[in-house]
Amino acid sequence: MFIPGLLWLKVEAVKLYDAHNHLQDEWLLPHLDQIAADLTKAGIAGAVVNGTTPDDWASVSALASRFPWVVPSYGVHPWDCGNRPSDWQGRLESRLATEPRARVGEIGLDRWILDSAKPDDPRLAGLRRAPLAEQKEVFVWQLELAATHNLAASIHCIDAWGALLDTLRQARRPERGFLLHAYAGSPELVRPFADLGAYFSFNGAFLDSKHEQHRNTFKVIPADRLLVETDAPAMPLRSAWRLYNLPARPDTTTVNHPANIAAVYAGLAAFLGLRVDQLATRVEENFNRLFG
Ligand SMILES: [Zn+2]
């Protein structure tokens, strides 16, 4: 039987990298001092903090000024694509021009918001759900901006894997590669995406048995393309896995504590049959190659 706490004893000395989170989120900000202290204790060495709309880019930037381990990343997320302001492109270009550590993301394609999401899903409240063609245009513009500056791009994809593969094949891509965050595509698509420069990050939610299929896909991810992420405050781990908790939202949604990255390392290492320090060495090399 696997006991996260025991494996965790071995994690303490290693450096941890969260390839994808949203530390600027309003549900984390009231707890920021505690979160930062917990992350430091856990051994955080790098975290890509993803803006999703020009409205939250200043918060991401402020975090990057405050914490040396924050890698600021700026983009228009497919959910925010429909409500983007008219000057979004100039604002993104100026972020990249003035912040040498800036990367590109979160960008991507999402068919779920169009085909499957409920009309009253609270996460999408007030958002105009942009059709796929519009999402694609916004995605490609940002991807090619990342390619021009050879910056890592962080990509979100739900229910649009074929469209994403076609789009990536036709577009200019960053030479250093790009991240498919919380990769939930099929194992058969791993090779074609990897051939285009993809890295794949394992999300802690995949430790839950209901995501066994996504977890198993990580058995075929090339060792030099593997990363680890929380997507905090989203995608919480099952309660048995959590090392850190935060108060739930008023609608009872669980708020994922970013320091649970330590639990994701422990869980993924156990699943892959690696020691945590072996996994950590691999992830550190990959993180620095892509985001460094
Ligand atoms: Zn995200």
Residues 6 or more apart from 284 whose CB is under 8 A from it?
15, 17, 45
Ligand 1 center from residue 8 Cα (angstroms):
25
Q: How far is the CA of 14 from the centre of ligand 1 (A)?
A: 24
Query: What angle is formed at CA 78 by the lines to CA 207 and CA 214, rounded to 5 degrees?
Result: 20
Residue 4: predicted pLDDT? 53
Dist. CA 153 → ligand 1 center (Å): 12
Expressed in angstroms and rounded, the spacing between residue 172 Cα and the centre of ligand 1 is 23
Distance between Cα 1 and ligand 1 center (Å): 31
- The CA 285 to ligand 1 mean position distance, Å, reads 22
CA distance 78 to 125: 14
CA of 282 to the centre of ligand 1 (A): 22
Map residue 31 onto helix, strand or coil.
helix
Q: Scan for tokens 């996994």, then name that residue.
A: 279
Per-residue pLDDT of the chain (292 residues; tens, 9 = 90+): 354 554 554 445 799 999 999 999 999 999 999 999 999 999 999 999 999 999 999 999 999 999 999 999 999 999 999 999 999 999 999 999 999 999 999 999 999 999 999 999 988 999 999 999 999 999 999 999 999 999 999 999 999 999 999 999 999 999 999 999 999 999 999 999 999 999 999 999 999 999 999 999 999 999 999 999 999 999 999 999 999 999 999 989 999 999 999 999 999 999 999 999 999 999 999 999 999 9
List Cα–Cα distances, 165 to 35, 198, 227, 290, in angstroms.
36, 11, 20, 20
The DSSP element (H or E) to which 91 belongs, if any, is helix 88-98
Q: What distance in angstroms lies between residue 107's CA and the mean position of ligand 1's atoms? A: 9
Cα-to-centroid distance, 104 and ligand 1 (Å): 12
Structure tokens at 57: 């880019």
Q: 77: CA distance to ligand 1 center in Å?
A: 8
Spacing, Cα 22 to ligand 1 middle (Å): 6
Q: Could you list which residues have their CB under 5 Å from ion ligand 1?
A: 106, 231
User: Which residues lie below 8 Å from residue 174, measured CB to CB, with a gap of 6+?
Assistant: 104, 143, 146, 147, 149, 150, 151, 152, 153, 197
Amino acid at 254: T
C-alpha 156 to ligand 1 mean position (Å): 7
Q: What is the pLDDT of residue 13?
A: 76
Ligand 1 center–CA 50 separation, angstroms: 7
pLDDT of residue 12: 55
- Distance in Å, CA 224 to ligand 1 centroid: 22
Dist. CA 181 → ligand 1 center (Å): 7
Measured distance CA(92)–CA(61) in Å, rounded: 12
Using the mean position of ligand 1's atoms as its centre, give its distance from the Cα of residue 229 in Å: 10
Give CA–CA dist 130/260, Å, rounded. 32
Query: Ligand 1 centroid to 15 CA: how many Å?
Result: 22
pLDDT at 10: 45
* C-alpha of residue 270 to centroid of ligand 1, in Å: 25
Edge-to-edge strands, sheet with 153-158: 16-21, 44-50, 70-74, 103-110, 153-158, 178-180, 198-203, 226-229
**What is the set of domains in the chain, with CATH numbers?**
4-291 (3.20.20.140)
